[in-house]
Every structure is written in structure tokens, then in C-alpha cells.
A and B are shown apart, each in its own frame.
Chain A
Amino acid sequence: MNKTIVIFLPFLLMFFSTRSFSQDRDSLNKHTAIQETNYYTLVSVGLTHSSYRDFATSPLFYNGVGLDLNAVWLKRADKRERIFEGGFGISAHSPRVPESNFIQPGGLAGFANFRFYYQELWKLEALSNAKNNTKIGGTFITTQNIRGNPALQNNAMGLENFTNLMASAQWTRDISRTESKQLNLWLFKPTLKPVKRDLRFLLNVGVLNFNYRPGYAYSYDSEMNGTDTNPVSWVFSNYKWSLNGFRLKTQLEYIKYLPNGNARSWSYVWEAAHAPGKHEAFQMASHRLQYTIHFHTKKR
């Protein structure tokens, strides 16, 4: 996997570089003069298609659809931005079972996850100009999965955690319509007003990838201290932190600003993670279509 990242990343950055240097010098100076900082509170809802596979309990992929909710605090300026996000997702999954010649096995698993995400990005002047803003920085992300699959008996509960420090790159392209434009659609000739819009692409690549996974036997007969034993600590007592695997996250976002400073956006978010743990691997991936409302709370 590390090879894949190494191959893709330079291509992506090279693409940004090509676009940036084709701009003229005047517009670049004009752009860097903007110094205002905007504060937003974002609320988003997403429809997710996700899949996972926990080799400790099953060699099969589990696929499903679900709902995601996120609340975000965002501080955005031309030169720097900071984002803090809390999210929650819930979905229903079924195993991708090969077709039986007899009676088809099935099953249903519930999947929920909680996420916290903190990111800081700084502008890369060399790759930015009036129309393009490129920022790089770092992200801390932690995700706690809670899975339930009754068919797996005492292994019914899956509780892995992914915590990652990621290298981040964000490219924003200003695709605003600066002048009114009339469309010619047979009988209809609507006039499109000027509007501020952005197209944004964010790439996060895991640099330090921690995961918290069960021990060798997955279930574990842990210490029993009478009725004082806490079932949660009993379940987690053989879990181990590992530093291995990978995590990737990308987001392609189209943002349309309203005259009052608020905005709406539509995003496609893709995420993939692989956690070998100490014994058996866990893999998950998700594709999310997300709608976000940006409430402009403050300008400075």
C-alpha cells in the first residue's frame, strides 16, 4: 500500500503545480491582499455506502448503506484554516455470501461509528493564485467503530478504533460566475446571476496509523472480579494498540455561497482504511454523498 501512496501523491501535487504556475502575477498579488477570516458552523447529512471485513471473524466483505451526520466548526482565511468536526454514522450491513446451491445463508450486521477530526492547513503560496488556493497541513482523526453481528455469537461485538495523524493537501478552485449569463433553452431563456462558488478537493494520507484491535483469540476470558467486573473493560482487556496499516480520505466538494455569507455544499467523500493489528486484519471503505449547510457565524 505504501507504494501506492508514493506513486499517486507526486502526480497529484504535480497537477496542482501545473495549474498554479499558468496564472499571471498581477492576479496573484491581488489575491494575497485578502486577509479576512470567516467563521462557520456546518451541519451536514450524508448517505453512505460502506463495506468492511474483519478477518478475525469472517473472510467475507460486509456491505451496506446508512446515514451520516456531522457537525463542524470551521475557521477559514485565505492563508490558513482550521476545522474541528464531530460525526456519527449508522448503517446496516449484510455479508457478500457466494450463491448457495441449497439454502442461501444470510445475516444482518449493524454498524455505527463516531469520528472526531481536527485539521490545520496553511497556504502554499507557490501553488496558489487568484483562482487557486492550495493549502497543506496535518489532520488528527479518530474513529471508533461499534459493530454488532449476532450470528458471530461471542464475537458478535466488534469494537475497533482507528486513530491517525495524516498529511493533508487541499486545493480550492474559485469557479464563481462574475457576470450575468443568459441561457438559451428553447422556450426558456433564464438569466443566471453572478454567484460565488468554489470547487474544493481535499486529500488526507495517513502518516502515523494507529489501530486498537482485539487479541489473538478475539474473545478473551478476562479477570472476573465478582460483580465489580465492568463488562466494557472486560471486553476491551485484551485489546492492543498497533502502529501499522494505512488510511486514506478524499473529499470533493462543490460550494455555493449565498449573499448573506452562508453557503451550501455537495460533497463526495471516500475513505479507506486497513488495520492489520497485531494478529488479524480489519479493512473498511466508504463512499458518501453529503449535503452541508454552512452558517456564517463571524467575520474578522
Chain B
Amino acid sequence: MRYLILIISILLFSSCEKALFKKDIGSIEPLENFDYLWSEVDKKYSYFELKNINWNQVRSTYRPMLSENSSEEELFNVLAAMLNELRDDHTNLITPFNVSVYNAALTGAKNFRGRTIEEFYMPNPWRTGALTHDFLSNKEVGYIRYSSFMSDFSDAQMDLVLERYKNTKGIILDLRENGGGSIFNVPKLLGRFINSKTLVGYSITRNGGEHNEFGDKEEFYITPHDGIRYTKPVIVLIDKGSYSATTFFSLATKAFLNVTLMGDATGGGGGLPNGGQLPNGWNYRFSISQLLDLNGDNYAEDGVPADINVAFDWSDLTKDEILEKAIEEIVN
């Protein structure tokens, strides 16, 4: 009996983590979820000052719209509206029934029509990994379409593509409506267009409770790729749908003498988005860092401007004016 008591005592003593840990704070209570999300953004979001956002004012505006009786749909609508005040496509509320999106691409005109390229410029292109490409203008120009930095390509595939266009006068790299993806694909691609290690920008990440509290500046270098490189003129096509990693890419090209940005400014997305969960199980994300140019300016969040502005003319769908201008720049 003594041993039985001993064993039971030990088991009880050994199962007391509930007493050791803080209480479970899972909750579907609307105001608790509102306060949790507001506080997480307040502690970690990175662009309050650039965008001149008074986050306390935002709280005062949206919190009274909720009560303990608010439905989940009402809670979603209020939280989504609050997050959209950040004007940031790296900010989303993700629930099983809906996802909030700011949609920066809608702040500018649409400048890309894939069918125009396929039908009138490149009816039978090569598709090498994530890269769709072909010759243009009597083989004087190489055209490469990379539609998402989420999609990968191998070194051998990129070698093949650049070897194919080594005798052209220039390359057009089309990143319009490329919504971003893996940051690691940015140096992988840009490293093909330089011959020496180049500092192209910086990033800083929130490191404290104040809205302007950031850690040290981290350098962003592009190093020359060991494989085949192309250092003749490269024109990169961008628009408002070019976001996130494409904005990183575009900002980096400002340090490249042989690369020109053409089209419209990118949609932005200079911050690294995080990810988290609310007490009711919904997920969210928002930017926690800033991308800076070589002068330390953080304008990339609102978009990297094109060096040459050109717009797509939607009255004639047989022609891509941005592409035409790029061909002209290279050939002439």
C-alpha cells in the first residue's frame, strides 16, 4: 500500500505542468481577439512612420465596432479593415471562410496581358523550369518571362537560357505581375548580370516596442554567379503587380549600370512578413522589417519607380507598348 501511495504521489507530482504554465488563453471572444491582433501589430509592424499611420487612432476607430456579441463574420470584417489601414499586401488575416487582402496592384493601372505576348510576340516559346523565353526582333533580343519568385530554376537551366541568348544585343526580363516569393531567388538571378560583388541595399527589422525601434542595418549583397553571366544591357519590365521579392530585385538593380527598369513603379512589399495565430485560431501576417536603398531610404515599401515609364495601351491588344519600348531601347 505504501508503494502504491508513493507511485501515485510521484505521478501526481510529475503531471503538474498545468500548475507551472500560464493559463490557456484560447478564446473566441471578439474583443480579446481584436486586442491581441492590435497589440501584435503595434509591437512588431515596421512601416508605421513611413505611412504616417496613427495606430492608436486606428484602435479607437475600429474597436467600438465590436462587442462581446459580434459574430465571427463581423469580427473578420473589422479586423480586415483594421489591417488594410496598413496599406500593405504583406498583411493578411487568414480564416477558414475568408482571407483579407489589401491588393496594392489595384492602386495603379494594369500593364500586362499574357495573351498578347503569347499570341503576337512569342507563339512557340521555350519553357525551361520557371522561365518562359524566346528570341524577339530577328534574334537581336532575348525575352525571358519569370512570373513568380516562388518558382525555382536550376543553375543548369539558367546556363542554358543565357547561353541561348549570348549573341543578342540585350535581354528583356519580364517581371510584370510577379508577386514575389523566395528572397533567395533574387541573388540567384541577379548574380547572372554582374561581374563583381555589389552592395545593393540594406534591411532593418523591428527590435523593440517603439514604432521606430529597429535592429542594426543588414547589408544586402549580390555576388557574381559562377555559371554563365550576361553583362550586356538588360531591361527589366515591372508594374504595380510586381511585389515583394520583385521589389527587392528592382531596388537592387539601381546599383547595376547595365540594368534598366521599365514600365510602372512596383507595388511595394519591402517588408519581410511574419506569421502568427490569434486566440480564436485564425492566422495573420504583417511586415516586420524595412528594405532600404543605398542611401538608407525606405521608399521601396511604396514601390520602386521605373527608370523609363511606359504604359500598356488597352485599346490595342495586339501590341505590348512596354515590350515594344524595351526592344527599341536595346536595338537602337
Contact = CB atoms under 8 A, between A and B. Distances in A.
Interface of A: 1, 4, 8, 12, 15, 51, 53, 56-61, 95-107, 151-156, 173, 175, 199, 201, 215-229, 231, 238, 246, 248, 250, 252, 268, 270, 272, 274, 283, 285, 287
A238 B7 contact: no
Given A217-B289, A250-B10, A151 B272 contact: no
Given A222-B218, A229-B184, A270-B14, A99 B28 contact: yes
A60 B281 contact: yes
Q: Which of B3, B20, B71: most chain A CB closer than 10 A?
A: B20
Nearest to A96: B26
A216 B207 contact: yes
Contacts of A250: 10, 13-14
B203 A221 contact: yes
A231 B184 contact: yes
Given A59-B279, A155-B276, A215-B205, 19 more contacts: A1-B20, A12-B13, A15-B6, A58-B276, A58-B277, A60-B279, A61-B24, A96-B24, A98-B281, A101-B71, A105-B283, A151-B94, A153-B275, A215-B207, A219-B273, A223-B220, A226-B223, A246-B20, A283-B21
Contacts of B274: 153-155, 217-219
Contact of A223 (B71, B95, B218, B289): B218
B14 A252 contact: yes
B243 to A, nearest CB: 15
B275 A97 contact: no
B206 A217 contact: yes
Nearest to B218: A223
B215 interface: yes
A226 B27 contact: no
Contacts of A99: 28
Nearest to B182: A231
Contact of A105 (B7, B272, B280): B280
Q: Which of A96, A221, A246: most chain B CB closer than 10 A?
A: A221
A270 B285 CA distance: 35
B41 to A, nearest CB: 12
Interface string B184-209: 10111001000001000001111110
A154 B275 contact: yes
B85 interface: no
Interface string B79-101: 00000000000000011110000
Interface in B200-250: 203-208, 215, 218-225
Nearest to A1: B20
A110 to B, nearest CB: 16
A238 B204 CA distance: 12
B71 A199 contact: no
B17 interface: yes
Contacts of A156: 275
B314 interface: no
Shortest 7 CB-CB contacts between residues of A and residues of B: A226-B223, A153-B275, A105-B281, A97-B281, A58-B277, A285-B17, A270-B14
A250 B9 CA distance: 12
A150 B301 CA distance: 25
B207 A201 contact: no
Contacts of A238: 205, 215
B120 interface: no
B72 interface: yes
Contacts of B186: 224
B157 to A, nearest CB: 15
A252 B7 contact: yes
B187 A154 contact: no
A199 B2 CA distance: 13
A226 B222 CA distance: 4
A99 B207 CA distance: 35
B282 interface: yes
A221 B283 contact: no
10 contacts: A95-B277, A98-B28, A103-B97, A155-B276, A175-B3, A220-B289, A223-B220, A227-B191, A246-B20, A274-B20
Contacts of B27: 98
Contacts of A220: 205, 215, 272, 289
A61 B26 contact: yes
